[in-house]
Structure 1
Amino acid sequence: MTQPVSTQPVSTLPVSTQPVSTLPVTELSFPSTAAPFADVLSGLVRLLAGLLRLEPQQIDPDQTFRTFGFDSLLSVEYVAVVNAHHGTSIEASALVDHPTPTAFARYVAGERPRETGPVTASSVTARDPMHAPVPTPPPGPQGLPVLDVLREELAHILYCDPWDIDTKAPFYALGVDSTRGTEFVAVLNRVYGLREYAVTLYGHPNLTALADHVTSLLPVDADVRAAGTAPAG
């Protein structure tokens, strides 16, 4: 059966005359998620700024990671820091589907373990490794030059004999990809109490250059020597 069609002019159809500003909006607000997202975004921006050696205010969260110069190495490193910060297990490939800090923050907010208490800006800062107190560097392996220590540690990662590693060969020629590079720098930081990023391998592209760099960061110590430096005496 054909339904009768209203002939009432559209302009006279009943509409709400209540001002938009006074319409109820409680069903459209999300107080339980808005604050955590803002804190997650703020934290991710700080982590990104630390990784890029920038100030947080220099980061536009709506710019793509590619704009910030991200490659596979930086992606792996950044996501590893985010996972350590938030207790997540996010893959670096997530940055492809969530290509800006804002988009990535929304994803991270949904992946975080449920908090036992409210997430606040102060609690995020407290867990922020970029603002945590710098630990006192432990002494290096007794009596070993930095170069020998780094060659030994890299050999463990590459599953080869330390003396098969040419200390002047570029890391890429030794088979150090982004994942192995991140692992190697993490070991370096643990051994010497440093806070270097995987991108350090770009500026110091072989073991000899890296050993010189690490030595320059360490306190003067007779047991921590640069490559080729003989003990005094």
Structure 2
Amino acid sequence: MLSVSNLDVRYGQFRAVQGVSMEIAKGDVVSLIGANGAGKSTLLRAIAGALPIHSGRLLFKQQEITNTSSSSRVQQGLSLVPEGRRLFSDMTVEENLLLGSTVKRSGDWNIERIFSTFPNLVKRRHAKTGNLSGGEQQATAIGRALMSNPDFLILDEVSLGLSPLVVNQVYDSMESLKDAGTTILLVEQDLERAMRFSKRTICMLEGRVVLDKLTSDTNKEEITQAYFGLHQSSKQEVS
């Protein structure tokens, strides 16, 4: 469904993403992990069209999207839940959700289904999102993305700043998306949570992909070594 080939993304002369390649098939659930500054959020934003690509290629559903707008990518079925949620705080939950349907695509997601999926939002329907709890804001942000009926959902730091109880509630809702066959790519700092939720785990280090494996074939030690670059350190010492 998504093909990323030799992708470079830069901030000035700084290469935040360096030669990243990956293939994500329809129905895949992939966790993207790595330390702060590894390039994860930059990669997600570039895939979603929120950042320009310096070099490389993006294909979505076998169509070239390397230089297309973010709205065009939403129209094709790719939607991002950004880090920090980025809701309109002076607008209500319902108004924020309706913004997600600005780009029209056919599908089963509508505002009532969002409230069914996230029942904690029902009583907050007419509340301004600036007055919501972190969990309610995250549910609203995910709901807004679902309103465009995406085939491919990207979630950046979905559990950041949330209590363990709220994280469980958010992931319970996301399990239904996974079971429905939605393709999901998410950034997650909680390694154990990421490995339980995903079919594949991709680890980035200093802008590069250093591990890409089925989660079932990956152990915690291997993840830790990739996360902290221990393999690279060992090779440097040997050389």
Higher Rg: 1
Q: Which has a greater percent of strand? A: 2
Q: Could you say which structure has the higher helix fraction?
A: 1
TM-score, length basis structure 1: 0.27
TM-score scaled by length of structure 2: 0.27
Of the two structures, which has the highest relative contact order with CA contacts closer than 8 Å and spacing of 6 or more?
A: 2
